[in-house]
Structure 1
Amino acid sequence: MIVLVALIVTAFIISMNTGFIRMSPIEVIQTFFGMGTSKQSLILYQFRLPRIVISVLVGAALAVSGCILQGISRNALADPGILGINAGAGLMVMLFISFFPTTAAAPVYALPLLALLGAGLTAMLIYSLANKRHEGIQPTRLVLSGIAVAAGISAAMIVLTLRLDPNKYQFMATWLAGSIWGANWKFVLALLPWVVVLIPYACYKANVLNALNLGDQTATGLGASVGKDRFLLLAVAVGLAGPAVAVSGGIGFVGLIGPHLARRLVGTKHQLLLPASALTGSFLLIIADTIGRSVLQPSEIPTGIVVAVIGAPYFLYLLARSKA
Structure 2
Amino acid sequence: MTNTCDCSRACGDAFACTECARTAGHNLAQIAQLADCLDGKRARQRTSWNVTNLDTSRRGTGWRTDSGQRFTIPRAHQPFAPSAALAYDSRVTATQDRVKNALVGMARLVIEADRSIAWPADNSHAIALWLMPYVIRKARFQEWASEMFTEVHGIREELLALLDNPPPTIYLGRCDAEIDGTPCPESLYVERDHVPEVALCPKCGTGHNVKDRRELLLAGVDDYLGTAREISALLRQMEGGRVSTKAIAGYVRRGRLESAGDRVEFRANGATAKVPVYRIGAVRELVAKLDDERRERRALRKVNTPRGA
Q: TM-score range by the shorter chain?
A: under 0.3
Larger radius of gyration: 2
Q: Which has the higher contact order (CA 8 A, sep 6+)?
A: 1
Q: Which has the higher strand share?
A: 2
Give TM-score, length-normalised by structure 1.
0.25
Give TM-score, length-normalised by structure 2.
0.25
Q: Which has the higher helix share?
A: 1
